[in-house]
Amino acid sequence: MKYYILFGPPGAGKGTHSGAISEKYNLKHISTGELLRAEIAAGTELGQKAKSLIAAGSLVPDEVVEGMIENVFNTVKDYDGFLLDGFPRTLAQAEALDSILAKREECVTAVVSIMIPDELIYKRIANRAAIEGRADDADQSVIKHRIDTYHSQTEPLIAYYKEQGKYFEVEVTAPTIEENRERVLALMETIE
């Protein structure tokens, strides 16, 4: 099995490009955001807890997210691999993912990093809020907190995966989604 991580700051387009990557390479897309939103929509205990944390711009506890992801690994069949979107976000999560995969005698295949500058993050998230009606995307202070959290907690993963020779980066600053998607898929071709 292949295990790809789709990496980048909030608003970079992970959700936008994950479908094309998943389809082309027969990967099961695992979005931690979607898994959590499903829990929130179902009104589960986990969903209620996640909702209050997300509303404040905070991260959901690692063991909850790790359990959900491991469950997907264990139950989903008929794919050539997985595309993780939004996980891992911290070094502790990266190490936990390595442990989960080691139990399966597997490892991370590659990290596909789609990058944009901070000023573009605000613009894209505001646009997403308008299109999708996501309240958590409309509050500037929540967006700033997410960006700060990304820089402090998630960016250290770049060095972690570079050390392993698994880190691949592409800028997605072109004016159209199509041009950016071409860049992302071209990068994927170099990894295969």
pTM listed for this prediction? 0.82
132-171: pLDDT as tens digits: 777 666 678 888 888 888 888 888 999 999 999 999 999 9
Domain boundaries, the chain: 2-186
CB 45 within 8 A of CB 101: no
- The one-letter code for the residue type at 190 is T
pLDDT digits (tens, 9 = 90+) for 35-88: 888 878 888 777 788 888 878 877 778 887 888 888 889 889 999 999 999 899
CB 116 within 8 A of CB 12: yes
Quickly tell me which residue has 């071409």 as its tokens: 182
Exposure string (b/e) for 146-163, b if CB count within 10 Å is 16 or more? bbebbeebbeebeebbee
Annotation: CATH topology of 2-186:
Rossmann fold (3.40.50)
CA pseudo-torsion sign 142, 18, 86, 55: positive
